[in-house]
Amino acid sequence: MFPFRTETFCNSPIHQPMSSAPGRRRSLNQPLEARVKAVTSNKKNKVMNVPARDYDGHQPNEPLTILIVDDDPIFLKTLRQYLRGKNRRLLAAQGGKQALKLALEERPEMVISNRRLPDMDGIRLCKALRRTGPTEHTYIIILSGSESDDDLVRVFKAGVNDYLIKPLSLKVLAARIRNGERLLRYCQTVSRDREIIEQYAAQLSTANSQLQLMAMTDPLTGLPNRRNAMRRMKDAITEATRFQENLACIMLDIDHFKAINDTYGHDAGDMVLRDVAKIFSGNVRGYDMVNRIGGEEFLIICRRSGLDEARQLAERLRQAVARHESLTPSGQIIRCTISCGIATWQRHYRDDSELLKSADHALYQAKQSGRNRVEVAAG
């Protein structure tokens, strides 16, 4: 039974609650067109072009798409006219299959369907929409002549959002639609807010990673800075202790670097620092970790390396730096040397500070012994 079918439309202008007595129904023995006109021109029932702010206090930006499904073309036409408004885009389908096709193409936010369709039950249509990604959350209203409680339970179990018993009033249908629209608008706002929050969270996470990287990196050479080096050293000691592996470190310092600054200028000094950092990074093995721990001081942590390997590496680096020529923008050639102090992790050391102290002491020895050389800590 459907309001706009000739036999039922007589009762349509008045809402018929499930418990209402038939006597309360307004009987209209008029032709269909006249009854439709009566409904749509009745000021009490008029909802055409009602702006959305009437029901939810704000003007939404995009129109909501509503798909009406019924096999009666006159009903479709009438309802479309009745519901027309600038915040609604109305579509119509005369059967379940056509409705599914249209729903996939147009992704309506709301579907109003008759329970009985020529090719498909409205409940099946609802289930099919719920199973389909793009229409999974579509607001579905079913119009039905059935009034049984069991039927109602079945319909809601299938995922229908609202259910109206026919014969029904267009006024009531419009109110239920507005209620659904309000919920849809709310969901849209929530999902938009969520998107914005997710965007902020992503930006914040990127900014945090960048900040973390900046806090751990020396901006001049791009190498890990002192803080980072100390953290890595602690990790390396933990690893060496746990797996009973060798661990060595090399403290490296550019000789007479102050004189380079004084002679060629600070910018040239910076360039030398970058060149030396590149030489170090380009000559170590995968396990070794190069860090800049001070002005012209570097620390290389040699994981899984004993004294011999560390000494060979330090010597290789010393020679590579000594061979290198840095060229200033004005065409001047700068040469420099480095001194290196090596220490290896000893079982009796308490922590990283003892290892670093030993390496520093060996570096001091290298400086004292004439620079441009490698010295090893006593152990």
Nearest approach in angstroms of CB 222 to Mg ion is 20
CB under 5 to 8 A by kind: which of ligand GH3, Mg ion, none does 80 bind?
A: none
Cα 5 to chain centroid, rounded: 50
* Contact positions vs ligand GH3 (CB under 6 A): 220, 253-258, 261, 266, 269-270, 273, 295-296, 367, 371
- By beta-carbon proximity to ligand GH3, the closer residue of 264 and 345 is 264
Gap between the Cα atoms of 362 and 23, Å rounded = 108
In this structure, what are the phi and psi dihedrals at residue 141, rounded to the nearest 5 degrees?
-115, 130
Q: Which pair of structure tokens corresponds to residue 8?
A: 């039922």
Within 10 angstroms of residue 81's Cβ, the number of other Cβ atoms is: 12
Q: Which of 33, 195, 198, 296 is catalytic?
A: 296
Which of 26, 266 has the CB closer to ligand GH3? Answer: 266
Record the tokens describing residue 83, joined without a space. Answer: 């519901």
Rounded to a whole number of angstroms, the minimum distance from the CB of residue 338 to Mg ion is 8
Report the residue number, 122 or 269, with the smaller CB distance to Mg ion.
Answer: 269
In 3D space, the residue among 343, 301, 321 whose CA is nearest the CA of residue 255 turns out to be: 321
- How many residues belong to the site for Mg ion (CB under 5 A)? 5
Whose Cβ is closer to Mg ion: residue 218's or residue 296's? Answer: 296
User: Considering only CA atoms, which of 242, 227, 228, 253 is closest in space to residue 345?
Assistant: 242
Q: Is residue 7 annotated as part of the catalytic site, yes or no?
A: no
Q: Which H or E element spans position 163?
A: strand 162-165
With CB under 5 to 8 Å by kind, the binding choice for 130 among Mg ion, ligand GH3, none is none
Strands of 288-292's sheet in order across: 288-292, 297-303, 247-254, 338-344, 374-376
- Residue 367 contact partner, candidates Mg ion, ligand GH3, none, CB within 5 to 8 A by sort of partner: ligand GH3
Residue 280 touches which member of ligand GH3, Mg ion, none, C-beta under 5-8 Å by kind = none
State both tokens at 28: 């209209």
Q: Could you tell which of Mg ion, ligand GH3, none binds residue 220, using a CB distance below 5 to 8 A set by kind?
A: ligand GH3
Least distance between Mg ion and beta carbon 339 (Å) = 8
CA 290 – CA 377 distance, rounded (Å):
19
Q: Pattern of binders to Mg ion over 288-307, x per CB under 5 A?
A: --------xx----------
Q: Is 253 in the site for Mg ion (CB under 5 A)?
A: yes
Strands, E assignment, 21-125: 64-69, 88-93, 110-114
Interface with Mg ion by CB under 5 A: which residues?
A: 253-254, 257, 296-297
Q: Name the residues annotated as catalytic.
A: 296
